[in-house]
Structure formats: C-alpha cells, structure tokens
C-alpha cells in the first residue's frame, strides 16, 4: 500500500486548511471541509474492507451510499491539522442508506466527523446533480464577507451585484452569483437543508453573521471562489461609506461576458 499521507487529497487539504487558518477564516474549531474521493484511487492507500468503527450520521442520504469522503473532524482546530492529519481528519464511507458512516482512516483520538456532516452531504447531493464532477464542499468564516452581512442588503441580486462591481474578475469567477441565507442556528439537519437548497443554483452560499459555503471540482477552485468573493467584500467595506465616482457598469460586465464566453445569472444585469 502507498503512504496515505502522500495521497494528493490529504496533502492538498492539509495545505488548504493551514492557509485558511492563516487567513483568519477558521478561528478556533470554526469551519469544515469534505472531499469526495475516487474509490479506485483510495484503494491504493487503504484496505477498503477494514472498517475501524461505524459512526451514526443522524440523517439519510441514500444517493451517497458507498461513496467515500475525506472530512475534517468535529471540534478540531485547523491550525493543528498540519501536525497530526490522522487525528484531525477522517476518511469515511457512507453506508446503510446514509444512516451511518464507516471510518476507514483517521480520527485516531476517537473523534467523529464535523458536526456539519449532514449539511455537507446534502450539499454534495445538490451539487452533484448540477455538476457530476463536483468534489468539494467547504465552509468557513471569512472576515469581510461576514462583516458585509451586517451592513448590506441580504437580497441575493443586490449582494451579488455589489460583489461583481468591486473586482473585474468577480463576474468571471462566479457568474452564477452568490446566494444568501439569513442568520440561523447551525448544526441541525433542518438547517443543513438550507445551504443545500441554495447550492442548486450557485456554488457560493453566504450565511449571514456566520460564514460561507463554497463548492467546486477541486480544492483550488473552491478556495479560489471564496477568496475572490472575500476580496470583493473587503474592497466594498473600504469604500461603502465614501461617495462613488465610478464603478464597473453592467455594460462593462457584458463586455466581460463576451470576451471570456461566460454568462451572468439571468436577470442580474441590465
């Protein structure tokens, strides 16, 4: 068997969560990540017939039965992942119509997957229906997007248009826009359904006074989506109280659409 700590997904996840902590996006044990793995590739690193223990999920997800995920652990600090990946991460296989998850590797201190696991699984189901190549769901607490939800309208069209106007690349990077949720108590299956529903029409879902969910085909794409939206929110907060003498117009964004062959969300541009 190959050394599992050299598996690309683990190497990339360790790098990403370390970077996210350095950005200030994942204070304490805030934030969580799940990555859909290729079973044939995973079999080069693990004996998939050996189940360490079975963990109840508290929900059902028959669409994901048999699929394997690399996940961050509940209560784990992202700053510690680089020093002990096997303690802070886990690889699980969804079983029993999603009611349980079989631990195949990691969580060596007896821990379990993130408490947001149901929300992640629901979001994976939603994104896979829209894009069968989707692999990553990432939740974090970016400072500027979080602050923006206190001072900006939470109307999705208005929120999206403001972000698009801040940086030229925004309409190019997330042309489908950003969906927005009001503040809600986290950690329940019912609440987990809310970002999953929003994931049907966008890869970015802002949760007011909480954080953001991002989805993508790999970790670079997903991190980059959030990074771009966060940069736009930072620019907005620096200029929101000042008189604007110019901005990126709808006509400018139509030119971007034409130049880069992208299509902004229907009805969001004049």
Angle at 60 between CA 58 and CA 63, to 5 degrees: 145
Catalytic residue among 39, 41, 102, 116: 116
- Gap between the Cα atoms of 101 and 57, Å rounded: 6
116 is catalytic: yes
Do residues 68 and 103 lie in contact, with contact meaning Cβ atoms separated by under 8 Å?
Answer: no
- Compute φ and ψ for 154, nearest 5 degrees: -95, 10
Do residues 13 and 70 lie in contact, with contact meaning Cβ atoms separated by under 8 Å?
Answer: yes
Which residues, listed in sequence order, are joined to residue 113 by a DSSP beta bridge? 73
Strands (E) across the chain are located at 32-37, 53-56, 68-72, 89-95, 100-106, 136-140, 179-181, 204-207, 211-216
Going from the C-alpha of 93 to that of each of 18, 38, 39, 51, 69, the distances in angstroms are: 25, 11, 10, 9, 6
Which residues, listed in sequence order, are joined to residue 156 by a DSSP beta bridge? none
- Gap between the Cα atoms of 224 and 220, Å rounded: 6
User: Which residues are the active-site residues?
Assistant: 116
């Amino acid at each position: 068997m190959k050394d599992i700590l050299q598996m690309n997904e683990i190497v990339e996840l360790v790098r990403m969560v370390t970077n996210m902590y350095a950005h200030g996006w994942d204070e304490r044990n805030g934030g969580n990540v799940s990555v859909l793995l290729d079973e044939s590739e995973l079999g080069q690193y693990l004996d998939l017939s050996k189940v360490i223990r079975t963990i109840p999920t508290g929900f059902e997800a028959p669409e994901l039965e048999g699929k394997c995920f690399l996940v961050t652990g509940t209560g784990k600090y992202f700053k510690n992942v680089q020093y002990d990946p096997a303690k802070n991460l886990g690889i699980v296989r969804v079983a029993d119509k999603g009611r349980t998850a079989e631990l195949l590797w990691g969580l060596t201190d007896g821990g379990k997957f993130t408490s947001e696991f149901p929300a992640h699984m629901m979001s994976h189901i939603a994104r896979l229906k829209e894009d069968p190549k989707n692999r990553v769901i990432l939740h974090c607490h970016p400072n500027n997007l979080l602050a923006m939800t206190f001072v900006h309208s939470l109307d999705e069209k208005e929120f999206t248009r403001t972000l698009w106007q801040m940086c030229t690349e925004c309409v190019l990077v997330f042309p489908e826009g950003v969906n927005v949720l009001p503040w809600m108590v986290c950690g329940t299956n019912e609440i987990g359904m809310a970002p999953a529903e929003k994931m049907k029409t966008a890869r970015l879902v802002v949760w007011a006074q909480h954080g953001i969910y991002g989805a993508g085909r790999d970790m670079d794409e997903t991190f980059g989506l959030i990074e771009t939206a966060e940069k736009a929110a930072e620019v907005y907060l620096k200029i929101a109280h000042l008189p604007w003498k110019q901005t990126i117009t709808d006509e400018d964004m139509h030119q971007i659409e034409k130049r880069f062959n992208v299509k902004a969300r229907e009805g969001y541009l004049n």
